[in-house]
Structure 1
Amino acid sequence: MRAIAARDVVAWAVFVARGVRLAIVCACVALAGCSKPASPLPNDAYVWQRVWTDGVVAAMRASGGLVGTWHILAAELDARGRWSDVAPDWSVLASEHAPVVAVVRIDGALNRLDDSTLIAHVTRLLDAWKHRGVNVAGLEIDHDCATARLAGYQRFLAALRARLDPSMRLSITALPTWLDSPAALDGVLAQTDEAVLQVHAVMNPVQGLFDDTRALAWMRAFARHNRHPWRVALPTYGTRVTWSRDGRVTGIESEQPALQSDDLAHELVAQPNEISAFAARIAKERPDGLAGIVWFRLPTDDDTRAWSLATWRAVLAHTPLQPALTVRTREAAGSAARDLVLVNAGNADAPLPARIRVDARCDAADGINGYVIDRDTQSLFLRRAQDGLLRAGRQRTVGWIRCTQGTLAPRVEP
């Protein structure tokens, strides 16, 4: 009787142990399923350059394997009703394996849309591109009009769609402000096959270039209105905003080098690490209908207001971004002073550091290129006066210094 009871106890222990192991295995499988990373969103890109330099061509060829569709600026209609057609490198577009979307930008300040004239110009443009051997898969209209003009925009899109080849997909660039007029927005979206929601540079410049919380809220709201696939436009660039002394915005420079001005200026920069994190987040929390990202704009080596091409490619390839900032000294020509040179030896563009500390006694010093000289109880330092990025593999002279005592060993402080 005692032997039977002992065997029963052993058998029961084995059964329980197996059950525990099975429960652990099931729990691990469940956790693994929950923690599985979301698949990345497909990447498209805007080629927004009006002049196709060798840098534009090189950037496209270097990024072809990472980009699904190229959205090419084809023509612009300004506020006075004047057309400017872009002449791309036809040989590059004709040889591209990725689909091409021709983008026509219509200035939002244009008083009235002349439907027949607009449609005639657009259809002639598409015919010319096809004649050049370009595989035009779609047409995108970028018209940042006021919400009050959405009814007229809807009529134009309906008339345009009726004139397009049925195989030509029609898309638009949409603004978050249009969400305030849901019926008008629904009417506009009903005329399209796709849409691209712009969530950068749509706020007062005082509020910055991009806000991830607002962007996600806009995307979720936009998803509730869309019955077609849609994409979101994310920034790869910086903007210089200038204000007059009385607080009026006097200039916004996003696609050209900074202009000299007596007005107050501030650099708004899309930080690569923040935008990359946002792209990963929306891939995981994907709002309904979100089909991908369209990056604005294709970075090139000669575009000083965009990320470096290396950084952008790292973001698209989901490679960890690793900037590496150091400060070097260099003899200043014809002077006893030494230049302070900020160097980025990493694979990603880096935000300019807040301070560059100089642990030495110095007779004179000054900052340049976004830095000013300052001092605290510790020592002399260069203080960042203007936000910006230092591109991967690049360097920038940020000041000069002349010291007589101590070891000159400048260092970066966050």
Structure 2
Amino acid sequence: MTMRIAIAGGGLGGLTLARILHRHDIPAVVYEREASRSARSQGGMLDLHPESGQRALAEAGLADRFRSQARPEGEEHRILDPAGRTLVHHVPRPGSFSGRPEIDRRALRDLLLDSLPGEAVAWRHRLVAAQPRPGGGFTLRFDGGHSAGCDVLVGADGARSVVRSLLTDAALYPVATRAELSIGDVDRRHPELAELVGPGNLWCVGASRILSAQRLGDGGIRVGISLPADDRHLDTLRSKRALLDVFDGWEPRLTALIEAGDDPPTPHRVEAMPAGARWTHRPGVTLLGDAAHLMPPVGEGANQAMLDAAELAAALAADPADPGSAIRAYEEAMFARIHPIAEMSARVQAMMLSPTAADDIVRFFTKGSTGS
């Protein structure tokens, strides 16, 4: 009998898993809560690392399509101080894919969706509960009353994973408060900001605060404001005026990024799981990506989710008759791989919002680098 695999969550990790399983003729259904691929913005750019995200795409047979849509020039990044002085300026080799080329999250998700048969993704299926069945497997219940069964359940359903509760009660903890703004058509409407940000990433770093900007492939800029974790910021950072007060005294050409936002800012709490979080193996269910190891957003999350997917798919393809053993092997390897990466991500996040962040970040980038 064919093993029925259900993947909760149609983000980059879940779709990568479905694609690689499909290449091995192992059917899987992705249950996604959104109504369609265009239901909401997918965020800004991400840089795909050769050893993780790019490796996963190679195993998915999508390396060439990725290169056709990636933006290696997006690797350029500058770090400025509040007075607008340049502290670090990295310029990649033109046209080179040897580093960590950037790609819009929307473009990458579309690339993965286009590689799957239409029936592989069930839209409008928000998982609300997963109940073990006496003979093995799970009954899945979705918002609106729909239900489905599966033999193997993979939780790729993000920070607020429903599937996670089947395996662990690990609690999330706050690591930062972040607000975001978008600026569209910057070359025409705000050429001075287009020049300031350049083709990649800009970080303006002060004491315990960062004003960042990222150039997108659609000609827009995504602006981010990062502050230490404090719920009071969620209430105060809902207007441009409040954000400008946070950066009072900074060089006006930097704070112009806030003034140019097309809509009011959207603040949210940034959370993570403890670096050593793991669970006891349970037959028929596992986690990947943020559901398994939510980390501070310093460039590893999507890359590790995609690598999780590639390694889990390889394990299941190598031993389809014994998914329990395949899942156990995947989990042990994933725990060992993720622990040092999660610890590093926590250190980088703390460094970026420290009172001495500018000096710390300059030292960090002169010794090595992390993702954007």
What is the TM-score of this pair, normalised by structure 2?
0.28
Larger strand percent: 1
Structure with the larger helix share:
2
Larger Rg: 1
- Using CA pairs under 8 Å that are at least 6 residues apart, name the structure with larger relative contact order, 1 or 2: 2
